[in-house]
Structure 1
């Protein structure tokens, strides 16, 4: 019966509140943090390829950001312009840095999940229940022009500079396209994995690797250059071709990849943000009864 319930999640009867939207975002970021093994990334028991942060750093950041996701969902519900969303995100980043002692744990999630929460707020304000298609269409219709203009700005952060240097699609460009990897790869992979009876850990791990295989992850490019990005993508494809998380030895293979990523100083932070966003979409659009 439990497996059947997981395969047929119940939709919302009505539109979720900004508080529900924001809580789902915080919960999704925790699910991403707790996932293990997760090559190169911080988990509850492993720092991955990072020397300046651990799970406690991430938890401090999560507590600092709880109000942000609610606030930006409220802005979306109020039909705020992009400038207001951007100001809210800048304030959230300052809160994050204050909580972590200047360490960037969630800058990408502040941008990506913040935009998604604002889109969910806008959908909720219309009285409609959220769906992946409604969220993506709302991003395009409400803030698509502003996001396209933002993507033309000269990059100043390490990930954007790496994307420009190597001719990759940056996080800003991904947002301007309404997050194609999220909605066309990550969300369908997570939904399909849960529908066929995978545990949440297995489904999330396979979703992470499917995302790594196709995303122009600028964090990987920043830390390992184009060679590091391509190595991570090929490793993810090889992992999936061997059967993924449910294959015999699948977890051991993920652990071994983590050791390889540590040696190469690789951390797929953009893929982790996309996984968290996929967890949020699935929670919000198909919450458990």
Structure 2
């Protein structure tokens, strides 16, 4: 890939993040998540809304990339990203009329976009490590409102999205990306490879979205069902698809969906795309 100007690089990273969110939303069939079939376990969401929401995030992601490329102190950058993130969430909520479509994705992908821009690297491990470093700094301007995620973290003692970031996104770099590559190399089509990556995340993640809506029962169903689908050969096989369908039905019956895993799948697709595209080097112009 030719060298980019700084504004080109910011736009590219923002577009790639948005594309990853749309690709995640359109991937079908996902267990209890919005996709081309319908709204899964979400009465207030549909695919068209998810796409509009994702597109509304482009200016925010671009601003995060631009701020990170300026290469200021990490604490200052963390505060700047927090401010941009809150502005981006407000823009998203205006588009969705209050539905929380991508709040978690703003945090996850915002960090990864900023990390890639900060060091101009396309290596997933490097991007995840830089994002982790940024995330560990406290944002003193963040509100301390008791969100659903915070309630779940306190009740169940799980680490949540912030813990995942601080740990360097292990479910992305150690589980989902390897599974994505493995499924591709075995000859599976792209949808099957992406579904397998989602299942790899679900089989291990203490998903706060599942815990919020369905407690330990829903989380246990998700982890066990995802592991069984992969053990049966993955979604590129008929048996794996049967297990995926059973998992979908079970989670819809619980009225719970793996929203946290969906955000991490989008992060996986983002890192995979920038790695495959190549250089983020900045031209001298």
TM-score, scaled relative to structure 2: 0.88
**Equivalent residues of 2:189, 2:236 under 8 A apart:** no
Aligned ranges for residues 137-216 of structure 1 at < 5 Å? 137-141=129-133, 143-146=134-137, 156-216=146-206
Distance 1:145 1:98 in 2: 29
Note the C-alpha offset of 1:255: 2.6
Bigger shift: residues 190-199 or 32-41: 190-199
Residue in structure 1 matching 2:227, options 222, 237, 243: 237
Q: Is the 8 A contact 1:191 1:282 kept in 2?
A: no
- How far the C-alpha of 1:14 sits from its partner, in A, is 4.6
Distance 2:227 2:253 in 1: 20
Given the alignment, which residue of 51, 57, 62 partners 1:65? 57
Residue 257 in structure 1 maps to residue 247 in structure 2: yes
Contact 2:10/2:65 (<8 A) preserved: yes
When residues 121 and 215 of structure 1 are mapped into structure 2, their CA distance, relative to the original with a 3 A threshold, is: same
1:84 aligns with 2:74: no
Displacement after TM superposition at 1:13 (Å)? 5.5
| Distance in 2, Cα, partners of 1:261 & 1:47 | 13
2:103 equivalent in structure 1: 107
Give the structure 1 partner of residue 282 of structure 2.
none
Structure 1 residue 54 corresponds to structure 2 residue 46: yes
Q: In the alignment, which residue of structure 1 is the partner of 2:283? A: none
Please tell me whether the aligned partners of residues 199 and 227 of structure 2 are also in contact (alpha carbons under 8 angstroms): yes
Aligned residue for 1:130?
122
CA distance in 1, matches of 2:214, 2:145: 19
Whether 1:35 aligns to 2:11 is: no
2:117 counterpart of 1:121: yes
RMSD: 2.1
For 1:78-134, what per-residue CA distance to the aligned partner results, in whole angstroms no more than 9, with x for missing partners?
Answer: 12510000000000100110000100000010000000000011122xxxx410122
* Alpha-carbon distance in 1 for matches of 2:46, 2:265: 19
| Residues in 1 aligned to 2:166 and 2:145: alpha-carbon distance in whole angstroms | 15
Deviations 1:223-243 (A, max 9, x none): 111221112111111111111
- Determine the C-alpha separation between the residues in 2 that align with 1:137 and 1:208: 21
Deviations 1:130-188 (A, max 9, x none): 101221232244x25405x88xx967211221122011121111111121211111122
Pairing 1:24–2:20 present: no
Equivalence for 1:227: 217
Residue 47 of structure 1 aligns to a residue in which SS? coil
Matched with 2:208 is 218
Separation of aligned partners in 2, 1:266 and 1:212: 13
Q: Quick one: distance in 2 between partners of 1:256 and 1:46? A: 16
Distance 1:181 1:237, change over 3 A: same
Q: CA deviation at 1:62?
A: 1.6
Unaligned runs of 5+ residues in structure 1 are 1-11
For structure 2, the residue ranges without an aligned partner over 5 or more in a row are 279-285
